[in-house]
């Protein structure tokens, strides 16, 4: 079933689809290297960009969504925040630039943050005001809504409407991430979505689509779940002359290889997260190009520290030593990833470069297991303790080819140290549910770390039952995380984060596997795309199309 917002005309949307069918295909000549700029190098408006994702968003309202990266991208196409984070987190804590707020300032005691909004309208012409900002905060913190990031708002005592274009956040105390926390989440339309009680939001279904209005660069014109979403230029978007694109079509293509084939064939314009084994195909085609950027993510093996075989840091360290991570990186990623060291990616501002990744050393792993009481008493190649073999079930998401391939390599590697790894593939929702319920022994997954580098969500004991999947609990790590979250000055905060990394490095609640570069593929006709670790579509306002598909 295709959903159309009530104020949209389906006949106009069909015209956009007909435009796609009539587009000619062919490679684009970029001109000789070093050529002087010409008219074709100047940005120009118009055209339809076709992008893709493996799965659809579950809802248009992020406050009740599953929180996927794809969902966040769609959200930013449709809605704005008070400010926009800059991609400058390699050098220090991130900085911000105006978006809905044209300026902001803190009080002398640091406990009050005042935003001054620019004149802005929703896509239906209704003014966007401070009342929308306050109401969005109420929705974000409402227990009935149960937003997955509501903890980001815990330090905010109240949001005060000073006047139509001035809003004031009152904090219980001053801390480093106040601006980031105030800004977390987008500003939602009170006049459109305030009609439904928060208690009904999680069962509202297509109601949010029927009633949606936008403040972002695009408006939603139709959505056929699990197939296609059509977004068109928002004429009331507050940035003059932007976006340059007329529309964006988001197609759901579950298989990554199919995405790449469609990009090479001219059916798609942009593919996020290109598998390493497909990069050469894109580089060799005249039709396509590869774009890469440093990430803020890592992949991991999470150990359930409550499992009797995995409670000891020595055992977990042995499992890391038994893992040849460099061989996995070489096999799967080549030069497009590096072995991870700890919980802070090496491309971010507080990475402790004095730490080295644990080496692959199966002999040392075997010695540690022996010290922990394991031995292969029955000669079957698997060590046991008190008659129980060291057999670990590894949960893997069934749609993630990289993790499936890595799990197979891990299985063979751990076997050399007498560890049996049993691979269990499950779909994503089951994977996530089992991890949150600690109903697992080990799992392979990945994290995008917030640029504030607050790792509490994964390693603080108060997050057990949420995203601290492995039930890791260390009072000293809790203390250091809390201290870092309360320390305003960058240098002492960095030192606290270094101490956290050192302790996690020793205790190995995760085996930190690798840090991949972010590799995207694009058509040669896509110009001025500047993906970064915040989003592949960070500069979507400025993207333009040079020639037909």
The residues pairing with 443 across neighbouring beta strands, listed in sequence order, are 302, 395
* CATH 3.40.190.10 domain range(s) in the chain: 10-17+42-79+193-292+519-545
pLDDT of residue 38: 53
Q: How do residues 414-455 score in pLDDT, each as one tens digit?
A: 999 999 999 999 998 899 999 999 999 999 999 988 888 999
Angstrom distance (rounded) from CA 319 to CA 100: 49
Is residue 343 predicted with pLDDT exceeding 80? yes
Mean of pLDDT over the chain: 90
Q: How do residues 468-502 score in pLDDT, each as one tens digit?
A: 999 999 999 999 999 999 998 999 999 999 999 99
Angstrom distance (rounded) from CA 312 to CA 295: 31
pLDDT of residue 3: 56
Who wins on pLDDT, 295 or 104?
A: 104
Q: For the residues 40-66, what does the mean pLDDT come to?
A: 91
Question: In residues, how long is the chain?
Answer: 549
pLDDT of residue 1: 55
Q: For the residues 369-394, what does the mean pLDDT come to?
A: 95
Distance from the first to the final alpha carbon of the chain: 28
**Tokens 């809790």 -> residue:** 478
* CATH 3.90.76.10 domain range(s) in the chain: 83-187
10-17+42-79+193-292+519-545 CATH fold: D-Maltodextrin-Binding Protein; domain 2 (3.40.190)
Which residues are within 8 A (CB) of 92 and not within 5 positions of it... i.e. 6 or more apart?
349, 490
pLDDT of residue 68: 77
CA atoms within 13 A on the CB side of 541: 16
The residues pairing with 523 across neighbouring beta strands, listed in sequence order, are 288
pLDDT of residue 549: 67
Provide the pLDDT confidence category of residue 32 given band limits of 50, 70 and 90. Answer: very low
pLDDT of residue 20: 29
Buried-exposed string 98-118: b where 16+ CB fall within 10 A, e elsewhere: ebbbeebeeeeeebbbbbbbe
Question: At 105, phi and psi to the nearest 5?
Answer: -155, 155
Domain with residues 83-187, CATH architecture? Alpha-Beta Complex (3.90)
Is residue 531 predicted with pLDDT exceeding 50? yes
297-516 CATH fold: Dipeptide-binding Protein; domain 3 (3.10.105)
pLDDT of residue 24: 33
Is residue 309 predicted with pLDDT exceeding 60? yes
Is residue 250 predicted with pLDDT exceeding 50? yes
Is residue 240 predicted with pLDDT exceeding 90? no
* CATH 3.10.105.10 domain range(s) in the chain: 297-516
Q: How do residues 189-203 score in pLDDT, each as one tens digit?
A: 999 999 999 999 999
DSSP sequence for 377-436? TTSSS--EETTEE-EEEEEEETT-HHHHHHHHHHHHHHHTTT-EEEEEEE-HHHHHHHHH
Q: For the residues 87-97, what does the mean pLDDT come to?
A: 89
Is residue 7 predicted with pLDDT exceeding 80? no
């Amino acid at each position: 079933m295709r959903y159309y917002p009530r104020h949209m005309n389906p006949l106009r949307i069909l015209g956009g689809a007909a435009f796609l069918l009539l587009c000619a295909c062919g490679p684009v000549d970029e001109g000789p290297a070093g050529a002087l700029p010409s008219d074709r190098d100047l940005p120009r408006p118009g055209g339809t960009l076709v992008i893709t994702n493996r799965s659809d968003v579950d809802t248009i309202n992020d406050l009740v969504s599953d929180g996927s990266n794809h969902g966040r991208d769609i959200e930013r196409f449709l809605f704005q925040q008070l400010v926009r984070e800059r991609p400058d987190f390699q050098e220090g804590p991130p900085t911000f630039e105006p978006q809905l707020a044209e300026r902001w300032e803190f009080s002398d005691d640091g406990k009050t943050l005042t935003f001054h909004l620019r004149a802005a309208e929703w896509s239906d012409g209704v003014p966007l005001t401070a009342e929308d900002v306050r109401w969005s905060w109420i929705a974000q913190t409402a227990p009935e809504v149960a937003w997955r990031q509501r903890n980001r708002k815990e330090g905010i005592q109240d949001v005060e409407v000073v006047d139509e274009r001035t809003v004031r956040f009152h904090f219980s105390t001053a801390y480093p991430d106040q601006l980031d926390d105030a800004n977390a989440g987008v500003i939602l339309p009170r006049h459109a979505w305030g009609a439904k009680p928060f208690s009904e939001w999680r069962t509202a279904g297509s109601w949010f689509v029927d009633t949606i209005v936008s403040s972002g660069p695009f408006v939603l014109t139709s959505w056929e779940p699990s197939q296609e979403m059509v977004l068109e230029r928002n004429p009331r978007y507050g940035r003059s002359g932007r976006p340059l694109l007329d529309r964006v079509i988001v197609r759901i293509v579950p298989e990554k290889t199919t995405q790449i084939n469609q990009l090479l064939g001219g059916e798609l314009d942009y593919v996020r997260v290109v598998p390493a084994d497909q990069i050469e195909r894109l580089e060799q085609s005249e039709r396509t190009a590869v774009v890469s950027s440093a990430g803020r993510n890592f992949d991991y093996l999470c150990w359930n520290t409550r499992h009797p075989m995995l409670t000891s840091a020595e055992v977990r360290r042995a499992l890391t030593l038994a893992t040849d991570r460099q061989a996995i990186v070489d096999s799967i990623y080549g030069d497009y990833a590096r072995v991870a060291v700890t919980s802070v990616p090496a491309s971010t501002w507080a990475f402790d470069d004095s730490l080295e990744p644990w080496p692959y050393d199966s002999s040392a792993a075997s010695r540690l297991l022996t010290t922990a009481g394991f031995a292969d008493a029955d000669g079957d190649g698997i060590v046991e303790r008190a008659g129980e073999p060291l057999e670990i079930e590894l949960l893997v998401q069934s749609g993630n080819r990289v993790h499936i391939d890595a799990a197979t390599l891990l299985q063979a590697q751990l076997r050399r140290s007498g560890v049996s790894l049993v691979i269990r593939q499950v779909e994503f929702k089951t994977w996530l549910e089992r991890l949150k319920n600690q109903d697992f022994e080990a799992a392979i997954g990945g994290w995008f770390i917030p640029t504030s580098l607050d790792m509490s969500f994964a390693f603080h004991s108060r997050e057990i039952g949420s995203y601290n999947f492995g039930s890791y609990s260390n009072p000293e790590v809790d203390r250091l995380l809390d201290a870092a979250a309360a320390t305003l000055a960058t240098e002492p905060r960095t030192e606290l984060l270094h101490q956290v990394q050192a302790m996690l490095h020793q205790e190995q609640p995760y085996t930190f596997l690798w840090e991949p570069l972010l590799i995207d593929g694009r058509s040669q006709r896509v110009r001025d795309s500047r993906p970064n670790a915040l989003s592949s579509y960070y500069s979507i306002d400025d993207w333009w199309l040079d020639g037909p598909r």
